[in-house]
Structure 1
Amino acid sequence: MKGPELKAARPFHALAFLPVLAAMGLSLSYWPGLVTYDSVRQYDQALSGAFDDWHPPMMEGIWRLILPLWPGPAPMLLLQLGLYAAGMAGLVFWALWRGRPGIAFGLGSCALLPLSVALMGEVLKDCLMAGALTAAVALVLLSLESRNGVARVGAGLLVCFAATLRFNAFLAGVPILLLAAGPVMPASRPRMAIGAALMAVLLLLAMPIANRALGAEASDVNLSLVIFDLAGITEHGGQNVFPAMAASQPVAAVRRCYTPVKWDSFSWWVDPLCPVNFEDVRRAFHAAHISATPFWIGQIIRHPIAYAQHRLAHWNINARFLVHDEVERPVQRVSAPNEWNFRVTESAALDLVDGAAVRSADTPLGWPCVWMALAFGLMLAARRLASARIIWMLAGSALFYGLGYGVFSVASELRYYLWTMVAASVATVIALGDVPALRRPDRWRTGLEIAVPPLAVALAATLARL
C-alpha cells in the first residue's frame, strides 16, 4: 500500500490495531507479571548472577541487566509483551500495506485468543520466545514488501534469540529463516534441504553458545528427558533399562512412580522421593562414566516399541487428544510462593481473562492436536493460494514445533504450544484472505483441505471426552 492509500484509510487503520491493544491490556491484568516456580528460580539466579542451564540463562542474563533499573517481574513482562505486540502490530501493518484491511483486522484479532492472552501475562520463556518469533515473522513479511535487508537481519537475530530460550526452537525457527531467505532458497528442493539443515545446526548451537558466554553451570537438565524416557521404556517393556543403581527392584519402583503425564515424579522436589530419582540416576551415570545421551539413544534403539508406547501415551495427553479428564489447569491464576512477595493484582479484568482461558481450554481452541491438524491442513491447501510461501512456512513452523513435543516433552503444559497456536492462527487468517480470489471449484477444494483435518481431530477428541 502506497503512502496516499495509507493516509486515506487511516481511520480503519486504527480499528485494525484495536484488537492488539485490547489483548495487551488484558494480558497486563496479570500485572506485575505472574511468576511460576520456573520464573521464581530464574529471578533468584538473576539476582545472584550465578546461572545454571536448567532454565535459559539468556533470560536470566537479560533480567540481571534490568534489575538495577527496575527490580521484579514487571520489566520481563513488558519485554515479552512488547515483542509480541510489536509483532502483531507489524503483521497488521503488513496487511494494510498490501491493501488488505480485512486481513489486517483478522491478524490483529489473533492476539485475542483467550489462552494466548492469559499465557502472555505469565513471565515464562515460552512467552518470551513467542514474542520474539512473532516480531521476527512481522519483520520478514515487511521485508518481503520493502525488500529491506536490515529487517531480514533483524528477523534472523530474533529467531536466534528465540533459540537461546528453548533448544527445540529450531523446529519453529527454520521455516521462518527459510522465508526470510526469499525466493532464492526454495528455488530447488536440494537447495532448500541443505539450507534448512544448516539453519537447524545454527539454531541448535545458539543455546550452548549463549550458555557458555554467560558462564552458566551445567545442571544435567537433559536428564529430565532421559529419565522420563527410560522410565517409560521400563514401564512398557517390563525390564530395567537404567544404569546400575542402588535402588532395589527398579522395575517395581518405576511402576509405582511413572505416569505418562510428566516426569516430575522422578525429580528431587517430590515427597516422597522415588527410589529411582534424578540425583541417583545422575550419580549412576557419573560413577560409571557413561554419557547420558548416547545411552538414552541406545535404549530407544533396543526397545523401539516400548519407547513408542510411552511417547504416544504422553503425546496423547500433552496434545489433549483422546483424553477424558482435565490434565491440569490450563493457565496459572496466582504466582508461585516467593520470598519477594510478587503476586498479581486482583481485578475484574483478571477474572475475565482467567475464566475465558479456562473455558476455552475445554474447547478445540485449547487442544493443541486441533491446532496442529489445522496447520497440516493449511500446508495441504497452500499450493493454490497467492500467499503460498508465507502460509507454508508459518504453518510449518506451527506444526513442526508442536510435533517436536512428541519427542522432547517431559510435561503436559499448554504453554508449550503457545507458538503453535499463534503461528497457526496467523497462517489461517492469511489463507482465508486468499481463498475468495480462487475459482469456485478451487475454493471448495481449498476449504475442505484446510477444514477436514482439524474437524476430524476435533470430532475424535470430543467423542473421547463424552
Structure 2
Amino acid sequence: MSIEPDSRLTHHHITITAVALCMASLALFWPGTAMYDTVTQYQQVLSGVYDDWHPPAMARVWALLAPLGPGATPMLVLQLVTYWLGLGLIAAALARIGRARSGAAILAIGLLPPFLGWQGVVLKDAQLAGALLAAVGIIGWWRLARRPLPRAMYIPVALLLAYAVLVRANAVFIVVPLIVTLAPRPAHPLAKLVASLVAVVAVLGVAPIVNHQLLRAQPSGVEATQALYDIAGIAARTSDGNTIGLTRQETATVIQRRCAKPFFWDPLGDDANCGTTMARLRALPTATLYLTLASAALHHPIAYAGHRFAHLNSTDRWLVPFHWPSAAPPVASEPNTIGLANPSAGARAWEVLTAMIVETPLGWPIAWIVVAITALAASLSRPRDPIRELATALLVSALALEVSFAALSIASDLRYHLWPMIATAVSVVLLADRAPRRRVLMIGAIALTIVICSGLAARMTLPLPPQSYAGMLG
C-alpha cells in the first residue's frame, strides 16, 4: 500500500522546478570555487602537459570546454547541469507514476547544503557525482515507467559512466556494482558478485592504459601512495622494521615524527615531514612495493588492521572530535595567478551554512552507512519492481565504495563520500512508497541511535584538532 499522499504536482511542474534550481545554483556559485587540486588541473589545461596524479580525463574535458568560458566556469556548468539533470529526471519519473511529492523530495535532496555546497566546488568528486546522477537519471526515466532504455540512450549513459570511472581512481567500486546490479544477467547474487569482482579487476587494469596512452598523461607515482601509507601505518604499530620493508632507523623515524596519521597520508609525501624517510621505498617498482606491503600485513595483521580501522573511523567521521577537518567546502578559491576567481558572497554564505550542517550527523558518513544498510534490507524485502531495482543498485554502489575504504583510502575528506550519501538519500525517497518491515526499521533505528550517541560522546570529550593543513601535518 502506498504511503504517498495525493498531490496536484505533475512531472511538468517538477521539470520546471529542476531547471529553475539548476539556474539558481549556477548563479549562486558562479564562477566556481577552485581548490588546490583545481588549480593544479587548470595549470595542466593551460600548459597542455598532463600527469595522472589528478584524473587526466577531467583535465582533458576541461581543455575541450575551455573555449566556452574562462577559468573554472565550463566545468562548474558541466557538474551542476549533470547534477540537476539526474535529480530532475528521477524526480519527474516519480511524478509521472503518481509520486509527485516523492519527486519534490528528490529535488529537496539536491538542495541539502553538504551536497549542493560541494557541487559548487570544481573538482573531481563533484564531476563524479554529476556524471553518475545524470546516468542514473536517464536510466530511471525509462525504468521507473517500466520501459526499456532506448538503444539511442546507451551512448550518453555509457559516456557518463566511462567518465565517472576515469574521473576518480576508486569510482570503479561505484560504477561496476551499479551496472552489474541493474543488469538482468547474471541473476543470482553470487554470480553478480563474481561478475563485479572480475569487472573491477579488468577496469583497474585498463584504466592506466587509457590514462597513459589514450589521454597521454605522464606517470606521477600516485599509485605508490596507498602502499606507502599502509606500510607507515604498520610501522607505527610495530618496531620490527625488517619485516615491513623499512630499516629500523626508518621505522624509528616514522614513530618519532608521527608520520602515520589516521586522518591522511600527506606527511609521507612532504619532504619537510616524512617524505625523505619513505624515499627509498618510493623508488621501488610498484609491484615490488605492494608485495612489500602484502608481506608486512601478513607478518603484522593486528598492526595492519589497527591502522586501517583507525583510518576508517577517521574518514567515516565516527569517533572523532568536533570540527574534524576537510568536511566543509572552502569559502574562497585557492590563491592563484591563472584566472581562477573567487565565488560570490552568496556562495560564501552558503558554504558557511554548510560548515555548520556537516558537524551534525548529516555530515557523518558512518550515519549514512547505517541508513544505507537499513534501506538495502528494506529494498530486498519488497516485491521485485522498478523501484526496488533502482534503489538496490544505488545502495549497492554506495556500500561497495564504503567497503572499499576499509583497504583503499588514504585521506578523510568528506567529499569522498558524496556519492554514497547522495545515493542513499535518493534510495530512501524511492522506497518511501511502502512502509518497511517493522523489524528492519527498528534494528536500523537502534543502530543509528548507537552510532549518533557514541559519535556525539566522542565529539564532546576529544580535544579539538588543528584547524589548518600545516597543523594536521604536524
Q: Is the Cα contact below 8 Å between 1:84 and 1:134 reproduced in 2?
A: yes
Q: Is the Cα contact below 8 Å between 1:72 and 1:342 reproduced in 2?
A: yes
Aligned to 2:321, the other structure's residue is in SS state: coil
Of the candidates 339, 342, 345, which is equivalent to residue 343 of structure 2? 345
Structure 2 unaligned blocks of 5 or more: 1-6, 461-474
User: Which stretch has the larger CA shift, 165-174 or 56-65?
Assistant: 165-174
In the alignment, the residues of structure 2 paired with residue 15 and residue 85 of structure 1 have an alpha-carbon distance, to the nearest angstrom, of 11
> What aligned pairs does 1:319-334 form with structure 2 within 5 A after superposition?
319-330=316-327, 331-334=329-332
Shift of 1:140: 2.0
In the alignment, the residues of structure 1 paired with residue 376 and residue 88 of structure 2 have an alpha-carbon distance, to the nearest angstrom, of 25
In the alignment, the residues of structure 2 paired with residue 464 and residue 244 of structure 1 have an alpha-carbon distance, to the nearest angstrom, of 34
In the alignment, the residues of structure 1 paired with residue 250 and residue 14 of structure 2 have an alpha-carbon distance, to the nearest angstrom, of 65
Shift of 1:335: 1.1
Q: Is the Cα contact below 8 Å between 2:234 and 2:244 reproduced in 1?
A: no
In the alignment, the residues of structure 2 paired with residue 242 and residue 197 of structure 1 have an alpha-carbon distance, to the nearest angstrom, of 28
Q: Is the Cα contact below 8 Å between 1:140 and 1:179 reproduced in 2?
A: no
Aligned to 2:331, the other structure's residue is in SS state: coil
Correspondence 1:367 to 2:364? yes
Correspondence 1:234 to 2:231? no
Shift of 1:196: 2.4
In the alignment, the residues of structure 2 paired with residue 180 and residue 155 of structure 1 have an alpha-carbon distance, to the nearest angstrom, of 13
What does residue 161 of structure 1 align with? 163
What does residue 139 of structure 1 align with? 138
Q: What is the letter of the counterpart of residue 52 of structure 1? A: D
What whole-Å deviation, never above 9, does each CA across 1:197-216 have from its counterpart, x for those lacking one? 34324443452232021111
What whole-Å deviation, never above 9, does each CA across 1:410-443 have from its counterpart, x for those lacking one? 11100100101110000111112222xxxxxx65
Q: What is the letter of the counterpart of residue 44 of structure 1? A: Q
In the alignment, the residues of structure 1 paired with residue 91 and residue 392 of structure 2 have an alpha-carbon distance, to the nearest angstrom, of 19
What does residue 14 of structure 1 align with? 13
Q: Cα 1:71–1:254, aligned 2, differ >3 Å: closer, same or farther?
A: farther
TM (normalized to structure 1)? 0.88
Q: Is the Cα contact below 8 Å between 2:165 and 2:175 reproduced in 1?
A: yes
Q: Cα 1:444–1:189, aligned 2, differ >3 Å: closer, same or farther?
A: closer
What does residue 419 of structure 1 align with? 419
What does residue 173 of structure 1 align with? 175
Shift of 1:301: 2.1
Q: Is the Cα contact below 8 Å between 1:368 and 1:417 reproduced in 2?
A: yes
What whole-Å deviation, never above 9, does each CA across 1:172-206 have from its counterpart, x for those lacking one? 11232024423x432x2343234323432444345
In the alignment, the residues of structure 1 paired with residue 85 and residue 202 of structure 2 have an alpha-carbon distance, to the nearest angstrom, of 25
Aligned to 2:216, the other structure's residue is in SS state: coil
What does residue 267 of structure 2 align with? 265
Q: Cα 1:455–1:11, aligned 2, differ >3 Å: closer, same or farther?
A: same
What does residue 439 of structure 1 align with? none
Q: Is the Cα contact below 8 Å between 1:17 and 1:108 reproduced in 2?
A: no
Q: Is the Cα contact below 8 Å between 1:17 and 1:105 reproduced in 2?
A: no
What does residue 305 of structure 2 align with? 308
What does residue 282 of structure 2 align with? 282
Aligned to 2:219, the other structure's residue is in SS state: coil
Correspondence 1:463 to 2:465? no
User: Which stretch has the larger CA shift, 410-419 or 397-406?
Assistant: 397-406
Q: Is the Cα contact below 8 Å between 2:9 and 2:100 reproduced in 1?
A: no
Structure 1 unaligned blocks of 5 or more: 1-7, 436-441
Shift of 1:299: 1.8
In the alignment, the residues of structure 2 paired with residue 408 and residue 311 of structure 1 have an alpha-carbon distance, to the nearest angstrom, of 9
> What aligned pairs does 1:39-118 form with structure 2 within 5 A after superposition?
39-118=38-117
Q: What is the letter of the counterpart of residue 342 of structure 1? A: L
Q: Is the Cα contact below 8 Å between 1:376 and 1:453 reproduced in 2?
A: no
Correspondence 1:447 to 2:441? yes
In the alignment, the residues of structure 1 paired with residue 227 and residue 198 of structure 2 have an alpha-carbon distance, to the nearest angstrom, of 26
Q: Cα 1:42–1:385, aligned 2, differ >3 Å: closer, same or farther?
A: same
What does residue 195 of structure 2 align with? 195
Question: Equivalent pairs: percent with the same residue?
Answer: 29
What does residue 30 of structure 1 align with? 29
Correspondence 1:336 to 2:334? yes
Shift of 1:29: 2.5
Q: Cα 1:191–1:316, aligned 2, differ >3 Å: closer, same or farther?
A: closer
RMSD: 2.5
Q: What is the letter of the counterpart of residue 438 of structure 2? A: W
Q: What is the letter of the counterpart of residue 451 of structure 2? A: V
What does residue 291 of structure 2 align with? 294
In the alignment, the residues of structure 2 paired with residue 443 and residue 20 of structure 1 have an alpha-carbon distance, to the nearest angstrom, of 36
Q: What is the letter of the counterpart of residue 427 of structure 1? A: S
What does residue 429 of structure 1 align with? 429
In the alignment, the residues of structure 2 paired with residue 20 and residue 308 of structure 1 have an alpha-carbon distance, to the nearest angstrom, of 47
Shift of 1:248: 4.3
